[in-house]
Amino acid sequence: MSNLITKFFKHSFFYSLSPVASQIIRLIILPIIMTVVTPSEYGLITTLIVTYSFLIPFFSSGIDSSILRFYNKKDENLLFTNAVILKVILSIPFFFILNYFSNSIVEYFFTGEENYLFLFQIIIVAAFIESQVMIRFTIIRAKENPKIIALVNFISTVLSTIILLYFLFIEKIGFSALVYEILILSIFKLLLYILFLKMKFSFKLFNKNFTIKLLKYGLPTIPHKLQVKGLELVLISFINSNYSVSVTGFYGLAKKIIAPLNMLIEQGNKALLPIKINMLKENKNDELRKLLITIIIMLIVASSIYFFILKFIFPFLFNSNFNETIYYVPFIITVSFFQGIYYIMNTGFEMSEKQYLLPIFTFISASITLIIFIFSKNLIEVEYLMLLYAVFFAIQSFIIRIEAKKYFKLL
- What are phi and psi for residue 137, nearest 5 degrees? -60, -45
pLDDT of amino acid 184: 92
Q: Are residues 268 and 20 in contact, defined by beta-carbon separation less than 8 angstroms? A: no
Q: How far is CA 271 from each of CA 5, 60, 348, rounded to the nearest angstrom?
A: 12, 20, 16
pLDDT of amino acid 18: 64
Q: Is residue 332 exposed (0-12), middle (13-18) or buried (19+ Cβ within 10 Å)?
A: buried
8-state DSSP, 378:
T
Mean pLDDT, consecutive 10-residue stretches, the chain (411 aa), reads: 64 65 76 83 87 86 78 78 84 83 76 68 90 86 77 85 88 86 90 85 80 78 73 81 83 84 77 76 79 84 85 76 81 85 80 73 82 76 77 85 77 64
8-state DSSP, 37:
S
Q: Are residues 344 and 289 in contact, defined by beta-carbon separation less than 8 angstroms? A: no
Q: How far apart are the first and last CA of the chain?
A: 17
pLDDT of amino acid 112: 46
For 323, other C-beta atoms within 10 Å of its C-beta total 12
Q: Are residues 31 and 322 in contact, defined by beta-carbon separation less than 8 angstroms? A: no
Q: Are residues 382 and 245 in contact, defined by beta-carbon separation less than 8 angstroms? A: no
Q: pLDDT tens digits, residue range 220-264?
A: 777 767 776 787 888 888 888 778 888 888 888 888 888 878 877
Q: Which of 258, 370, 241, 346 is nearest to 305 (CA)?
A: 258
Sign of CA dihedral 110, 116, 119, 120: positive
Could you give the CA distance from residue 219 to residue 207 in angstroms, rounded to a whole number? 18
For 108, other C-beta atoms within 10 Å of its C-beta total 11
Q: Are residues 20 and 258 in contact, defined by beta-carbon separation less than 8 angstroms? A: no
Q: Which helix (H) or strand (E) holds 304?
A: helix 285-317
**What is the model's pTM?**
0.78
Q: Which helix (H) or strand (E) holds 262?
A: helix 259-281
Q: Which of 302, 379, 372, 287 is nearest to 337 (CA)?
A: 302
Q: pLDDT tens digits, residue range 177-231?
A: 888 989 998 999 999 988 888 878 778 787 788 888 888 777 777 776 777 678 7
pLDDT of amino acid 187: 92
Could you give the CA distance from residue 24 to residue 249 in angstroms, rounded to a whole number? 20
pLDDT of amino acid 140: 83
Q: Are residues 233 and 54 in contact, defined by beta-carbon separation less than 8 angstroms? A: yes
8-state DSSP, 244:
-
Angle between helices 329-345 and 245-257 (to 10 degrees): 60
